[in-house]
């Protein structure tokens, strides 16, 4: 009838729907393969079933009855076993499913992955050995905060589900050849690899393609390289999509709503520019929301030790040689660390959860100021999750790091993020301050009419009237001849605060002492302005706005 083939088990979804038949076969190279044949295909003439089996490499006998005999066998097969079929990898309590292996603490009914795209499993493979990975890659990460943090983030991926955390991750930003891709290669080796690009995917893809990629990496690490190569509009849409953990709503052929694709992923990204800058390049000139920036945190890749992303070269002559050694190790040894981690993780998830939560709380308490904004608290919690994952990997004897190494690496990266961000205030507050400084720097000499002794005079000591186009306000001398800027409220709201709440912005400026208040504490003062008969309410920006910038 054909080469070796067997109907092994009935399959159905966790809701006892979408029944099928798990078929094992050997192709012409005697390689064993599997396919879940949907029961719905039995309603046809069998040609679709034969087409799929022949594509998989089944050798069908040439005589006329072979096809009929094969279809009859598959339609009448009554295998004794039943399996639960799922469409994605990741957690399916209490088990964690990979494409070729199930990790579960219980001897329960076996799960099977219904792979609509077999190519998705190509990167979740193994090569080399765990001792080889520890010796040639993880050992070299010691003393390097960015490397330890990236590898720890890879181990944090399956902890998202246990801790109830949302999708998100970190974007390594820095100039070319600083070591950003090396960080991603090292982290990706925890889960798998491939001959060409290791475990890395590219930002240069449509949002639909990245949606499928994210779903294929559920509860695992997703590495996206070279943000700068992506189309700005596609990158803006994809960034929101990935962090939200949910795909687009789509209609089926008959108009019914199809199931929405969802995922949980830990993202590691890289690019020469930050995500917010890339989103700003889009045609709509959209602004990266504060919540978005906390979900995909922008981190400086340069460790400022003179070696790019690295601090300790472990005897290598330069950073380039060190990076090449790491990439070589990542291509020779990959895939085994995640499986070793999952085996111990599923053995006692409750105890693991308590340990992880305790480490997160300790991290936030130690490194996050109590007065920090809620956005910073959320980010600190994510840094704490990565720290806990790295500590757990060391405790499981998977990473050869001393206790506390991952915690310290996460703390260093968190401090660098706070520094590059500009403080622990809300992102909106930091943004309005930056916008106001830029606005005055750009238009202070052209759109602000001078008052008092700031007015230009000719050689005879007569005031020369300034011709101001599109006036934004006035500038006047303050104490010690410092300049104060009086801004019209409409300009402040519609131009400087475009897309932001102007009331929140004025409160932020007043809190920092950048805004002069009137006698009643209001943020707008009454001022007599040239050419205007009655006093007018304006915002008075004080010189301290630029004094603190110089100090920073």
* 8 A C-beta contact, residue 267 and residue 170: yes
> Are 416 and 431 within one domain?
no
Which position has the token pair 């105890």?
Answer: 351
Phi-psi category of 202—alpha, beta or left, where left has phi over 0 and alpha has psi -120 to 50? beta
H-only helix segments in 4-103: 47-55, 65-76
CA 441 to chain centre: 34
pLDDT for the residue numbered 307: 95
Query: Among 363, 397, 421, where does a domain finish?
Result: 421
CA 99 to chain centre: 23
Q: Distance (Å, rounded) from C-alpha 374 to C-alpha 395?
A: 31
> Are 302 and 217 within one domain?
yes
> Are 530 and 408 within one domain?
no
H-only helix segments in 28-113: 47-55, 65-76
Instruction: Please give the full DSSP string across 523-535, using - where no structure is assigned.
Output: SSEEE--TT-SS-
> Are 345 and 211 within one domain?
yes
Q: Is residue 512 part of a domain?
A: yes
b/e map 289-299, b = 16+ CB within 10 Å: bbebbbbbbbb
Q: Distance (Å, rounded) from C-alpha 105 to C-alpha 120?
A: 26
Print pLDDT tens along the chain (552 aa). 889 999 989 998 878 888 999 999 999 898 888 888 999 888 888 889 989 999 989 998 888 788 889 988 998 999 998 888 888 889 987 889 888 888 988 765 577 776 555 555 668 899 999 999 999 999 999 999 999 999 999 999 999 999 999 888 999 999 888 999 999 999 999 999 886 677 898 888 777 788 888 888 999 999 999 887 777 777 777 777 787 777 665 555 544 545 677 889 999 999 988 877 777 776 655 665 656 667 889 999 999 999 999 999 999 999 999 999 999 999 999 999 999 999 999 999 999 999 999 999 999 999 998 888 888 899 999 999 999 999 999 999 999 999 999 999 999 999 999 988 877 777 778 888 888 999 999 998 889 988 887 777 767 666 666 778 899 999 998 877 789 999 999 999 999 988 788 888 899 899 889 999 998 889 999 998 887 888 999 999 999 888 765 444
Structure token pair of residue 400: 């050869």
At 459-481, the pLDDT tens digits run: 766 666 677 889 999 999 887 77
pLDDT for the residue numbered 290: 57
Between the alpha carbon of residue 451 and those of residues 71, 141, 474, the distances in Å are 92, 60, 7
State the residue range of the domain holding 154. 130-252+259-421
> Are 413 and 442 within one domain?
no
Among 227, 393, 345, CA closest to 296? 227
Query: Among 30, 52, 85, where does a domain finish?
Result: 85
> Are 69 and 183 within one domain?
no
pLDDT for the residue numbered 257: 47
Q: Is residue 93 part of a domain?
A: no
* 8 A C-beta contact, residue 115 and residue 34: no
> Are 458 and 531 within one domain?
yes
Instruction: Please give the full DSSP string across 186-222, using - where no structure is assigned.
Output: HHHTTT---TTTTTEEES-S-HHHHHHHHHHTTTSEE
Structure token pair of residue 407: 């915690």
Q: Is 408 exposed, middle or buried (0-12, 13-18, 19+ CB in 10 A)?
A: middle
DSSP 259: P
> Are 263 and 374 within one domain?
yes
Query: Among 52, 85, 118, where does a domain finish?
Result: 85
Q: Is residue 279 part of a domain?
A: yes
Q: Is residue 114 part of a domain?
A: no
> Are 390 and 453 within one domain?
no
* 8 A C-beta contact, residue 315 and residue 269: no
Q: Distance (Å, rounded) from C-alpha 360 to C-alpha 383?
A: 8
> Are 203 and 331 within one domain?
yes
> Are 408 and 461 within one domain?
no
Q: Is residue 119 part of a domain?
A: no
A 10 A CB-CB count for 36 gives 20
Q: Is residue 125 part of a domain?
A: no
* 8 A C-beta contact, residue 172 and residue 303: no
Structure token pair of residue 213: 């990629």
- Indicate the number of domains in the chain: 3
pLDDT for the residue numbered 499: 78
Q: Is residue 180 part of a domain?
A: yes
pTM of the model: 0.80
> Are 297 and 342 within one domain?
yes
Q: Is residue 542 part of a domain?
A: yes
Q: Distance (Å, rounded) from C-alpha 249 to C-alpha 227?
A: 26
DSSP 105: S
């Amino acid at each position: 009838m054909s080469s070796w083939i067997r109907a092994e088990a009935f399959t159905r979804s966790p809701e006892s729907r979408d029944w099928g038949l798990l078929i094992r076969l050997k192709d012409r190279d005697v390689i064993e393969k599997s396919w879940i044949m949907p029961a719905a295909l039995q309603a046809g003439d069998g040609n679709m079933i034969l087409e799929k089996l022949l594509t998989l490499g089944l050798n069908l006998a040439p005589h006329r009855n072979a096809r009929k005999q094969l279809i009859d066998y598959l339609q009448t097969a009554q295998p004794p076993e039943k399996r639960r079929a799922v469409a994605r990898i990741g957690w399916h309590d209490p088990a964690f499913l990979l494409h070729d292996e199930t990790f579960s603490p219980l001897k329960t009914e076996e799960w099977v992955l219904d792979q609509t795209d077999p190519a998705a499993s190509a990167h979740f493979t193994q090569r080399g050995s765990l001792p080889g990975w520890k010796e040639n890659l993880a050992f070299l990460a010691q003393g390097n905060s960015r490397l330890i943090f990236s590898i720890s983030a890879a181990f944090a991926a399956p902890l998202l589900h246990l801790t109830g955390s949302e999708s998100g991750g970190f974007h390594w930003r820095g100039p070319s050849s600083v070591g950003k891709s090396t960080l991603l290669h090292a982290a990706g080796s925890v889960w798998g690899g491939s001959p060409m690009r290791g475990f890395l995917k590219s930002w240069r893809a449509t949002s639909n393609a990245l949606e499928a990629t994210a779903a294929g990496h559920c509860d695992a690490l997703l590495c996206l390289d070279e943000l700068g190569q992506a189309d700005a509009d596609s990158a803006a849409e994809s960034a929101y999509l990935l962090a939200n953990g949910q795909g687009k709503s789509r209609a089926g052929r008959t108009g019914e709503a199809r199931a929405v694709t969802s995922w949980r992923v830990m993202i590691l990204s890289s690019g020469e520019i930050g995500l917010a800058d890339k989103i700003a390049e889009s045609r709509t000139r959209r602004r990266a929301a504060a919540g978005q920036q906390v979900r995909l945190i922008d981190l400086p890749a340069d460790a400022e030790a003179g070696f790019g992303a690295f601090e300790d070269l472990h005897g290598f002559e330069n950073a380039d040689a060190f990076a090449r050694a790491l990439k070589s190790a990542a291509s020779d040894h990959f895939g085994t660390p995640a499986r070793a981690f999952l085996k111990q993780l599923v053995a006692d998830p409750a105890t693991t959860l308590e340990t992880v939560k305790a480490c997160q709380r300790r991290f936030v308490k130690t490194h996050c100021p109590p007065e920090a904004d809620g956005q910073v608290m959320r980010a600190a919690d994510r840094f704490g999750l990565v720290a806990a994952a790295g500590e757990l990997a060391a405790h499981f004897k998977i990473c050869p790091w001393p206790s506390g190494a991952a915690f310290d690496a996460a703390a260093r990266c968190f401090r660098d993020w706070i520094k590059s961000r500009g403080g622990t205030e809300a992102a909106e507050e930091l943004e309005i301050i930056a916008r106001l400084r830029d606005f005055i720097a750009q238009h202070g000499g052209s759109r602000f009419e001078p008052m008092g002794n700031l007015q230009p005079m000719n050689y005879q000591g007569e005031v020369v009237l300034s011709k101001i186009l599109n006036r934004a306000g006035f500038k006047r001398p303050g104490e010690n001849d410092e300049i104060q800027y009086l801004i019209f409220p409409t300009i402040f709201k519609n131009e400087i605060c475009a897309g932001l709440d102007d009331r929140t912005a004025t409160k932020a400026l007043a809190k920092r002492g950048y805004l002069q208040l009137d006698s009643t504490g209001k943020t707008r003062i009454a001022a007599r302005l040239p050419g205007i008969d009655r006093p007018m309410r304006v915002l008075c920006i004080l010189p301290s706005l630029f004094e603190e910038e110089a100090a920073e």
